[in-house]
């Protein structure tokens, strides 16, 4: 009888202890989640002026979290060892720098419970920070083997684009793979802004690595716009930096500068946004000055260049047929710069002479200034041109169906004002009476920041 009572009492005690242990691990899970919420929603509670304090504040919050985890280790580990090691490893992994203790704890977690997908993903992040991309990839692939999830998918999308490739086919394959994985991540949770950021970056990689179709830039900006609806994504400097890169190539210069500034505001210690903003301001100032002064050319030399412009230099565009943007064979009418409208000028061709080229830190686009028969000057940006190709002072250039933008804005005590013609491919240009060949066409390489750069 006593033996039976003792057994019943033991069962009740075990049940109570098990319940307490379960409550403890649930409470610790909430505490670690609060740590990440503090980090991710930091700017919901703090002004942007506090950006420099963010890291220190997170470190203090982390220390408090670790104190609680350590005090409850005995109760949590009894029945939930893998979960506890995961939680502590995840807490230590909250900072952007690699943490050896986090790696050790997460390794213990996945060994004790190989089906703990969250631990695999966290360990992958840890290896990524360490610079071990191979092991990071293995972790994310391992997590997907147990269950399909957005974190593994978008992480693998980024890693695919970071892999070192032996040839162009391999690079194209990785870009396409990255785009597919990013789309899958978004489909799993369309409300997750971080997945939209990754999709925008994947489109940007496709633009430069596969096909320089302007519509792809629109897809980038659409994805970034979706991302900005999410508070977490909106607070990341990565989003605003990559959006700025896209806007720069869209030649939406004011918005690009504003986005670079916003990226810097969210992380004042991160140098690339500040550097890119300075470079863009310098570039725009140079373009403005060169257009205003016709390449700083002397009056006599400029007059000679203007007088040397001859209709014969139109080459095949002189009375010949041109395949328009609408796919139709049309005849082009020569017009002066003053007769061109903002936007696409269909069935028109402009002829002029090069008066200068303008240095660009990124080397893309190739930029030069040209004057027409009236001596009016404008800037021309040519995308997808081979690095060793271009035009030189005195070259005649004919541009079919020119796309015109009026640049006129001020930013941080700088004023930019000039007319700009955008050319998507050098292969439509006629230079010195001859149409440029495919050897002038080239893809563009660029860097997209950042995931543990």
Is 448 part of a structural domain of the chain? no
Is 452 part of a structural domain of the chain? no
Query: Where is the domain boundary, 246, 265, 284?
Result: 284
Percent of all residues in the chain with a pLDDT value above 70, rounded to a whole number: 92
Query: Where is the domain boundary, 250, 284, 318?
Result: 284
* Band of residue 79 on the pLDDT scale cut at 50, 70, 90: confident
**CATH at residue 408:** 2.40.50.550
User: Distances in Å between the alpha carbon of 25 and those of 2, 34, 104?
Assistant: 34, 14, 20
For residue 274 the two structure tokens come to 């500040």
From the list 246, 266, 197, 252, the residue with the least C-alpha distance to 446 is 246
pTM given for the model: 0.87
Is 247 part of a structural domain of the chain? yes
For residue 41 the two structure tokens come to 């929603």
324-342 pLDDT, tens per residue?
Answer: 766 788 889 999 999 999 9
- Residue pair 351/311 in contact by the 8 Å Cβ criterion: yes
Strands (DSSP E) found in 17-80: none
Same domain assignment for residues 97 and 21 = yes
123-152 pLDDT, tens per residue?
Answer: 999 999 999 999 999 999 999 999 999 999
User: How many domains are there within the chain?
Assistant: 2
- Residue pair 351/370 in contact by the 8 Å Cβ criterion: no
CA distance 432 to 453: 45
Residues whose CB is less than 8 angstroms from the CB of residue 426 and which lie 6 or more positions away in sequence, other chains included: 366, 382, 384, 385, 386, 389, 436, 440, 441
* Band of residue 440 on the pLDDT scale cut at 50, 70, 90: confident
From the list 123, 46, 116, the residue with the least C-alpha distance to 90 is 123
Within 13 Å, how many C-alpha atoms sit on residue 398's CB side? 27
- Residues 266-269: contacts with CB within 8 Å, 24+ apart? 266/43, 266/48, 266/51, 266/235, 266/236, 266/237, 266/240, 267/51, 267/237, 268/51, 268/52, 269/52
Same domain assignment for residues 323 and 235 = no
For residue 174 the two structure tokens come to 């990785």
Same domain assignment for residues 47 and 159 = yes
Is 131 part of a structural domain of the chain? yes
Question: Domain of 338?
Answer: 292-440
Mean pLDDT value across residues 373-382: 96
């Amino acid at each position: 009888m006593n033996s039976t009572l003792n057994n019943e009492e033991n069962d009740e005690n075990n049940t109570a202890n098990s319940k307490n242990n379960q409550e403890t691990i649930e409470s610790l899970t909430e505490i670690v989640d609060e740590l990440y919420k503090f980090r991710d929603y930091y700017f919901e509670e703090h002004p942007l002026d506090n950006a420099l304090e963010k890291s220190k504040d997170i470190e203090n919050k982390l220390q408090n979290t670790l104190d609680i985890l350590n005090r409850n280790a005995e109760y949590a580990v009894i029945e939930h060892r893998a979960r506890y090691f995961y939680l502590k490893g995840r807490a230590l992994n909250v900072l952007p720098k690699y943490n050896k203790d986090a790696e050790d704890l997460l390794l213990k977690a996945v060994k004790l419970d190989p089906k703990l997908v969250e631990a695999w993903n966290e360990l992958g992040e840890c290896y990524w920070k360490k610079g071990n991309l191979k092991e990071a990839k293995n972790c994310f692939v391992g997590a997907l083997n147990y269950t399909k999830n957005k974190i593994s998918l978008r992480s693998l999308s980024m890693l695919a684009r970071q892999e070192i490739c032996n040839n162009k086919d391999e690079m194209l394959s990785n870009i396409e793979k990255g785009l597919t994985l990013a789309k899958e991540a978004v489909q799993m949770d369309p409300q997750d802004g971080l997945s939209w950021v990754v999709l925008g970056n994947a489109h940007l990689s496709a633009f430069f690595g596969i096909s320089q179709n302007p519509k792809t830039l629109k897809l980038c900006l659409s994805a970034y716009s979706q991302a900005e609806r999410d508070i977490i994504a909106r607070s990341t400097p990565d989003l605003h930096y990559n959006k700025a890169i896209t806007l720069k190539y869209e030649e939406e210069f004011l918005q690009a500068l504003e986005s670079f500034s916003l990226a810097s505001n969210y992380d004042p210690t991160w140098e690339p946004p500040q550097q890119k903003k300075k470079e863009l301001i310098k570039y725009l100032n140079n373009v403005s000055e060169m257009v205003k002064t016709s390449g700083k050319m002397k009056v006599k030399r400029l007059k000679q260049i203007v007088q040397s412009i001859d209709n014969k230099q139109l080459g095949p565009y002189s009375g010949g047929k041109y395949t328009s943007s609408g796919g139709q064979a049309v005849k082009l009418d020569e017009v002066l710069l003053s007769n061109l409208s903002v936007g696409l000028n269909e069935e028109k061709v402009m002829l002029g002479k090069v008066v200068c080229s303008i240095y660009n830190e990124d080397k893309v686009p190739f930029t030069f200034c040209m004057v027409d028969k009236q001596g009016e000057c404008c800037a021309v940006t040519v995308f997808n041109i081979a690095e060793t190709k271009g035009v030189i002072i005195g070259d005649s250039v004919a541009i079919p169906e020119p796309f015109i933008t009026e640049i006129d804005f001020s930013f941080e005590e700088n004023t930019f004002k000039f007319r700009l013609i955008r050319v998507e491919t050098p292969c439509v240009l006629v230079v010195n009476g001859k149409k440029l060949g495919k050897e002038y066409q080239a893809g563009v390489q660029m860097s997209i920041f950042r995931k543990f750069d």
